[in-house]
């Protein structure tokens, strides 16, 4: 058999090391297409001149574009037969990516848990993305629900990894060479720096963006993400939703782009502490977002920048003026599709 049906839950083993195929060279075309899909306006990733004024050689690739490329490499081996991607933890960007860099990924299985119905299970993996020099650019954990091929297939003992609640500020990595002495708030789009935000402050990002069927298909192909739930309507037509699911990373990128209105000087994403796709998203849904400042952290040896810990909630077909959120029992309304806890880098005056 020369074709590959992908791994099912019973095919995974604790400690299994997987080298993923097809290294990917990121080009200026990828950057332009990413901008067309999501409309991010953060100045550092938009302008070579702006980036050079802050000490970088050029505008780096959007942090989430780098994430999607690294993530996409894992899909044929980890989540081709996924029911859904469930969450992320301990995600750290360790080195900037520029057009011309080639990214490759490998993963280690760090946890397995069969579901009670024996039709699927949860696979936990730590994945690492490296560039052409072997330097690690991204390291993260995710967990995904994967179908079983045979309900009666034996499965290994349950192991659920112990993951940190958050990435500690002393583990955050500021891009090498980046300095904010020459930061131009006017060109960046808003006057608010790290010092202007308060813990527990909530920001309604106001704008909404509708997901088109063609856009999410194009985006998922851009990252070479081959998960059937995003592409195969013949298969998904028999699912409870009856339609293809939107790739969760697509929603993350939309939410990040929407946060520009209120957080324009959150120049880069340093880490993701945790993230959950709490309800499915389909084409035709309009995404809105709001954010809460969870924590502020000074960075060792830096007086020109600080880290802001944010919790961004994305909704479908519901504006966020009322800040929709989970209730006292932890249940989310059906309109909430994403709950993302992450650190961003922001200049200080």
Nearest by Cα to 120 from 149, 142, 77, 158: 149
Domain range summary for the chain, segments of one domain joined by +: 1-148, 193-211+246-349
pLDDT score, position 83: 85
pLDDT score, position 75: 92
CATH, range 1-148: 3.10.129.10
Distances (CA, A) of 28 to 45, 58, 210: 12, 12, 25
Distance, CA of 289 to CA of 254 (rounded, Å): 9
pLDDT score, position 87: 87
Q: To 5 degrees, how large is the angle CA 103–CA 213–CA 236?
A: 90
- CA-based end-to-end distance of the chain: 62
Q: What are phi and psi of 241, to 5 degrees?
A: -80, -25
Fold of 193-211+246-349: Thiol Ester Dehydrase; Chain A (3.10.129)
pLDDT score, position 103: 98
pLDDT score, position 156: 80
Do the domains at 1-148 and 193-211+246-349 have one common CATH topology?
yes
For the stretch 176-194, pLDDT in tens is 999 999 899 999 999 999 9
Q: How many CA atoms lie within 13 A of 326 on its CB side?
A: 15
pLDDT score, position 182: 87
Mean pLDDT in each 10-residue stretch from start to end of the chain (349 residues)? 88 96 97 97 98 97 97 93 87 98 98 93 97 98 94 88 95 95 95 98 98 92 88 89 90 98 98 93 97 97 96 98 96 97 96
Burial of 115 (0-12, 13-18, 19+ CB in 10 A): middle
pLDDT score, position 30: 97
Helix H or strand E segment including 290: strand 286-298
pLDDT score, position 24: 97
For the stretch 199-243, pLDDT in tens is 999 999 999 999 999 999 999 999 998 888 888 889 889 989 899
Distance, CA of 227 to CA of 260 (rounded, Å): 30
- The answer to whether residues 172 and 63 touch, using CB atoms and an 8 Å cutoff, is no
pLDDT score, position 241: 87
């Amino acid at each position: 058999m020369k074709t590959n049906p992908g791994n099912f839950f019973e095919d995974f083993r604790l400690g299994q090391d997987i080298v993923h195929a097809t290294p990917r060279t990121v080009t200026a075309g990828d950057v332009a297409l990413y901008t067309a899909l999501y409309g991010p306006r953060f100045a550092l990733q938009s302008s070579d001149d702006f980036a050079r004024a802050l000490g970088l050689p050029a505008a780096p690739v959007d942090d989430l574009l780098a994430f999607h490329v690294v993530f996409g490499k894992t899909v044929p081996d980890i989540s081709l037969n996924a029911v859904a991607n469930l969450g992320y933890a301990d995600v750290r960007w360790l080195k900037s990516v520029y057009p011309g860099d080639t990214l490759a990924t490998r993963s280690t299985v760090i946890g397995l848990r069969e579901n009670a119905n024996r039709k699927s299970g949860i696979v936990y993996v730590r994945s690492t993305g490296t560039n052409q020099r072997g330097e690690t650019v991204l390291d993260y954990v995710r967990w995904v629900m994967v179908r079983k091929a045979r309900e009666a297939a034996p499965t290994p003992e349950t192991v659920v990894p112990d993951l940190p609640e958050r990435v500690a500020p002393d583990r955050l990595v500021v891009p090498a060479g980046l300095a904010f002495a020459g930061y131009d708030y006017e060109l960046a789009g808003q006057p608010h720096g790290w010092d202007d935000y308060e813990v527990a402050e909530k920001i309604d990002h106001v704008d909404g963006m509708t997901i088109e069927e063609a856009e999410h298909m194009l985006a998922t192909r851009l990252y070479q993400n081959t998960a059937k739930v995003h592409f195969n309507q013949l298969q998904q037509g028999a699912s409870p939703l009856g339609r293809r699911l939107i790739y969760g990373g697509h929603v993350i990128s939309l939410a990040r782009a929407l946060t520009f209105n209120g957080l324009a000087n959150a120049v880069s994403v340093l880490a993701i502490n945790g993230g959950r796709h709490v309800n499915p998203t389909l084409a035709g849904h309009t995404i809105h977002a709001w954010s809460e400042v969870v924590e502020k952290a000074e960075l060792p040896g830096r007086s020109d920048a600080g880290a802001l810990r944010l919790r961004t909630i994305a909704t479908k077909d519901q504006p966020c003026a009322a800040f929709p959120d989970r209730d006292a029992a932890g249940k989310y309304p059906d309109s909430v599709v994403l709950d993302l806890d992450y650190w961003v880098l922001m200049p200080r005056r």
